[in-house]
Amino acid sequence: MEPSDHDDGPHRPARGRPRLPAGPPPGPARPAFWRSPLRGPWLTSVFGLVLLVGLPVLFVTGLLSYAAYNPDLAPGNDQTPGKGWLGFYLFSWPTSPYWLYRLTQGIHVTLGVVLIPVLLAKLWSVIPKLFSWPPLRSPSHALERISLLLLVGGALFEFVTGVLNIQLHYIFPGSFYTLHFYGAWVFIAAFVVHVAFRVPAMARALRGRRLRTELRTPAARTQSEPPDDTGLVTPHPAPATTSRRGALGLVGAGSLGLLVVTAGQSIGGPLRGTALLAPRGQDPGQGPNGFQINKTAASVGIRARDIGPDWRLVVRGDGRERSCTRAQLLALPQHTAALPIACVEGWSTDDQHWSGVRLADLAALVGLRHSPPGVFVESVQRTGAFRSTQLRDNQVRDPRSLLALRVNGADLSPDHGYPARVIVPANPGVHNTKWVTRLTFGGIG
């Protein structure tokens, strides 16, 4: 039968109406584009469960690192612009246990590196969702999509900048400290929204298949999961080239390998030699001063005359001022403390044996003998970040807090801060200021 004037037939659009696509455009927006039989809610949920445990630990240890910088004390301690209420800190950073920062930052960096294979596997498992069609179906779907994009983008940004920072490779624009700070808040906000949407579905998926069964299933018997509304299961699976057991084993082996070549930089001892991913370019060699540093005297423009015989330590406080030569400092009562250097990049030294003058004793030189206040520490360093730092009063009062003059029985080397440096228990490495020239007790003078 011929079509009538009122019947345009199945292949002719109505007059005056644009032709609408019958489905998603060719390419990754079509479910059949993705053919791996491994993808599905169960495998995605396994990776998601690992990240659900690990990522909050990363965020909490990151907050602890932020608190360790005493961000409320002075602009030099925290130069994050416009931080507002995001710049809260949890508590005054303690000095005990003395290895606290070494532990929290070691966990933060090591766990971050170990989770990289899990993160990449999770992104591989959900990549069809990034191309789902139509892109937006409802307001709630739009919120979920935005949170997903922020989650993926934030996670990649944090992990990439973190790894570059670990390697002391600052190719990104601006300050790592500021970028990582804001990136963390964007990521955690998206993470909370994503978890609120996906945890019920994740729990159902994990209950739907037994881990023991999947670990016993070889590639020859690996089948796709039943189709569902997640959009992860392909309608046209290709033959399996590996099993879910193999996929989990590959990711687990990758994480284990990264643990082996990373953790030693924080744990120390015999394992330090296994830390193949730790930066090695600043190795100071053997001897009493033969332990890790980040910045050398030459790299920050320290000149011989800056730390030569004319060097003086100026101590200020309570309206008084004292100037001391290094010989005069050595004539004061000397004390020792066994403390590590722990850095934001995750590496730390073993305990080094420092000797020098207690910060509390230096406060007494300007009349602040009882309950000395915090101190503003300044270096002869003229360029670069953290040329000065503000320490809290509890840090000054700790008897292990020293203006160190010697380490491991020898004078400090120029790269370790000669003529004098600060060493404080549980303090981030950059706040153990080197090449100290002025101490102002009670704040910035």
Regions in the chain scoring below 50 on pLDDT? 1-14, 17-18, 20, 445
Instruction: Determine the Cα–Cα distance for residues 225 and 119; give it in Å rounded to an integer.
Output: 22
Q: Give the pLDDT confidence score for residue 336 in this predicted structure.
A: 98
pLDDT value at residue 444:
64
C-alpha angle 153-158-162 in degrees, rounded to nearest 5: 150
The pLDDT of residue 92 is 86
Work out the number of other CB atoms within 10 angstroms of the CB of residue 186: 16
Q: In what helix (H) or strand (E) does residue 313 lie, and over which residues does it extend?
A: strand 313-317
* Among candidate residues 177, 126, 114, 179, the one with its CA nearest the CA of residue 151: 126
Distance (Å, rounded) from C-alpha 43 to C-alpha 250?
13
pLDDT at 131: 85
Please write down the HEC assignment for all residues of 173-191: CCCHHHHHHHHHHHHHHHH
| Cβ-Cβ contacts under 8 Å for 422 (sequence gap 6 or more) | 359, 377, 389, 391, 401, 402, 403, 404, 431, 432, 433, 436
Q: Name beta bridge partners: 314.
A: 323, 438
Q: What is the DSSP letter of 442?
A: T
Beta strands 375-379 and 352-358 are unpaired
Two structure tokens written together for 21: 């696509």
Q: Identity (one letter) of the amino acid at 343? A: C
pLDDT score for 26:
85
Q: Tokens for 60, please give them.
A: 């909490």
Cβ atoms within 10 Å of 75's Cβ, excluding its own: 11
| Closest listed residue to residue 348, CA positions, set 266, 428, 413 | 266
* Predicted pLDDT of residue 11: 46
Q: Which residue has the tokens 């037994």?
A: 210
Q: How far apart are CA 318 and CA 169, in angstroms?
A: 43
- CA–CA gap between residue 160 and residue 171 (Å, rounded): 11
Burial class of residue 23, CB neighbours in 10 A (0-12, 13-18, 19+): exposed
pLDDT at 385: 76
* pTM for the model: 0.88
Looking at the DSSP bridge assignments, the partners of residue 353 are: 338
The tens digit of pLDDT for each residue in 341-356 reads 999 989 999 999 999 9
Whether 255 contacts 115, CB under 8 Å: yes
pLDDT of 295 reads: 86
Residue 203 tokens read as: 């729990």
Report the alpha-carbon distance of residue 351 to residue 263 in Å, rounded.
17
Q: Taking the chain, what is the end-to-end CA distance rounded to the nearest angstrom?
A: 98
